[in-house]
Structure 1
């Protein structure tokens, strides 16, 4: 069993709007700071590639579904494969977003903690971005 962290936040936007935004892989660069320094290139509808620190990264997105599931898997060459298990659901007139990550085999605690802080930063950026958008 591996340690996990779940980060949850409320986004003051309707759930359908948040889900539609996050279900589109092209929006990833608008709310992540640490990952994308190169353009995303579609390999197929739900698999994209980019580079991070000069290394190729393949990003797998869950296709849209009726369950609020928005999982993302990052495959980094010679590095840890990272799964982001994302759920969105209605919370009153807003959206609750929960993202769970597991510490990978061989990943030290400090690296995992750092990854979780990057995730927290990105999710706060997402919240700010979506709440500032006009519909």
Structure 2
């Protein structure tokens, strides 16, 4: 597979990065801000199972860490694996949340833009939750 186009979708949050990481990295909290996981996640060993518009997906998260890394690999029923990179880093007294969106094979520019807008909506929801 050749290198895919990438776009970093990010948002600043006025809350300490460790607190944002602590909340955002817990799979049980993700349905409150990550709309693609709105149906919830069920733990299955080291993986989490999500039901969504594309069917059942198996999600494997990076282990808890001190670096703000919430990377996760999503495996769809079709066997397609998508590696999602999500970082929470210090930004002054607050944090910067960054999601690297990859343009998958067969995805046109309009679909890629729609995916980026979807990710931004989710990050805005996380921001609203964390700044309350």
**Aligned counterparts, 1:1-135, within 5 A:** 1-33=3-35, 35-45=36-46, 47-53=47-53, 55-78=55-78, 80-132=80-132
Alpha-carbon distance between aligned partners in 2 of 1:104 and 1:2, rounded to the nearest angstrom:
7
How far 1:117 sits from its partner (Å)? 1.1
TM-score using structure 2 length: 0.87
Contact 1:83 1:101 survives alignment (8 Å):
no
Which blocks of at least 5 consecutive residues in structure 2 are unaligned? none
Which blocks of at least 5 consecutive residues in structure 1 are unaligned? none
Contact 2:54 2:76 survives alignment (8 Å):
no
DSSP-derived class of the 1:97 partner? strand
Alpha-carbon distance between aligned partners in 1 of 2:39 and 2:21, rounded to the nearest angstrom:
24
DSSP-derived class of the 1:38 partner? coil
Alpha-carbon distance between aligned partners in 1 of 2:54 and 2:6, rounded to the nearest angstrom:
28
TM-score using structure 1 length: 0.86
How far 1:79 sits from its partner (Å)? 7.4
How far 1:80 sits from its partner (Å)? 4.9
CA-based RMSD: 1.8
Q: 1:37 to 1:122 in 2, by over 3 A?
A: closer
Q: 1:7 to 1:84 in 2, by over 3 A?
A: same
